[in-house]
């Protein structure tokens, strides 16, 4: 299996506060890695380190694919929802080659790609709307399009299921399942009940990172990984073994 990214002995400190300690993790081609962990456990920090937004204090991250092939969907609450920008321009902002091209040439290919992605997500009609009027689910789809326009080999998603309704959530995961045929996916979620359905492997992040082969995880294993999460399903009866989730 080809490795896309290798994280080696990564530690991240904010001032004196150790957020990630000695993390070793690699992401393989076509992997679908679910990242879970308690709030403040370092999930987002891990993703930001991968996206080169923050510098590691120690250790390194090796990229075996060009960095421009890593797509990113940040947490939605970091974005100013009233910023005057059109949906199509948000999608186009995902293209990384803007510095190297002629600013006066109308980029028909890029516009077509953006329209196609919006079409795939079922929101082609929102193309010329500004983002201010969109619902949480629509906005997430727009940002998903933005991360896909560069044809990533690895897609990194930071809580795409936050602020969206249940219907959109299952739609999103079906969409990701399809995308996973073409690219590896790293997905942060605090809803382990749902993601365990779709992911192939799980990483538990709580300062330390434990890699868990497969998508079936039990409460005992979570406790072993020092990952203080409770396995609670959406069903009527709370249960702990995700395998039987219904």
Partner 1 sequence: MSALINLFSYQFFQNSFLAAIFAAISCGIIGTYIVSRRIVFLSGGITHASFGGIGIGYFLGINPMIGAAVFAIFSALGIQFFTNNGKIRQDSSIAIWWSLGMAIGIIFIYITPGYAPDLMSYLFGNILAVTGTEISLMFSLCILIILCFIFFYRIILYIAFNEEYAKTSGLPVSFINYLMMVIIALTVVLNIRVVGIILILSLLTLPQATANILTNDFKSMIFLSVLFALVGSLSGLMMSYYANIPSGASIIFILVVIFGIMKLYSGLSRRYNHLL
Which residues are at the interface with partner 1 (CB under 8 A)?
51-53, 67-68, 70, 72, 74, 78-80, 83-86, 89-90, 92-96, 98-99, 103, 130, 132-133, 146
Give least dist CB 112 to partner 1, A.
17
Residue owning tokens 């192939």: 200
Q: Are 12 and 49 in contact (CB under 8 A)?
A: yes
CB 131 → partner 1: shortest distance, Å? 8
Residue number, 16 or 80, with CB nearest to partner 1 = 80
Count helices and strands in the chain by DSSP H and E runs: 7, 9
To partner 1, the closest distance from the beta carbon of 155 in angstroms equals 13
> Among 240, 235, 242, which Cα is nearest to 34's?
242
Residue placing its CB nearer to partner 1 in the complex, 44 or 233? 44
Q: State residue 43 phi and psi, 5-degree precision.
A: -60, -50
Do the beta carbons of residue 71 and residue 155 sit within 8 Å? yes
Which residue number, 10 or 49, has a Cβ lying nearer to partner 1? 49
Q: Between residues 95 and 200, which has the closer beta carbon with respect to partner 1?
A: 95
Q: How far is the CB of 53 from partner 1 (least distance, A)?
A: 6
Distance CA 241, CA 246 (A): 11
């Amino acid at each position: 299996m080809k490795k896309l990214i290798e994280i080696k002995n990564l530690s991240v400190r904010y001032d004196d506060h150790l957020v990630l300690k000695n993390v070793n993790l690699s992401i393989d081609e076509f992997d679908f890695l679910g990242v879970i962990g308690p709030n403040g456990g370092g999930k987002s920090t891990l993703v930001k380190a991968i996206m080169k937004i923050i510098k590691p204090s120690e250790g390194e991250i090796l990229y075996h694919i060009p960095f421009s092939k890593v797509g990113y969907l940040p947490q939605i609450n970091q974005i100013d929802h009233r910023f005057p920008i059109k949906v199509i321009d948000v999608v186009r902002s995902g293209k990384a080659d803007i510095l190297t091209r002629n600013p006066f040439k109308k980029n028909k290919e890029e516009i077509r790609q953006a329209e196609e992605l919006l079409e795939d997500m079922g929101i082609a009609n929102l193309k010329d709307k500004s983002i201010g009027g969109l619902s949480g689910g629509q906005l997430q789809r727009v940002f998903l399009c933005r991360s896909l326009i560069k044809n990533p080999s690895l897609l990194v998603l930071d809580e795409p299921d936050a602020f969206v309704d249940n219907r959109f959530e299952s739609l999103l995961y079906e969409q990701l399942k399809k995308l996973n045929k073409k690219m590896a996916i790293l997905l942060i979620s605090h809803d382990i009940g749902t993601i365990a359905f779709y992911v192939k492997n799980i990483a538990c992040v709580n300062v330390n990172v434990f890699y868990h082969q497969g998508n079936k995880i039990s409460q005992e294993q979570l406790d072993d990984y020092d990952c203080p999460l409770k396995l609670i399903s959406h069903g009527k009866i709370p249960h702990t073994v995700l395998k039987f989730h219904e």
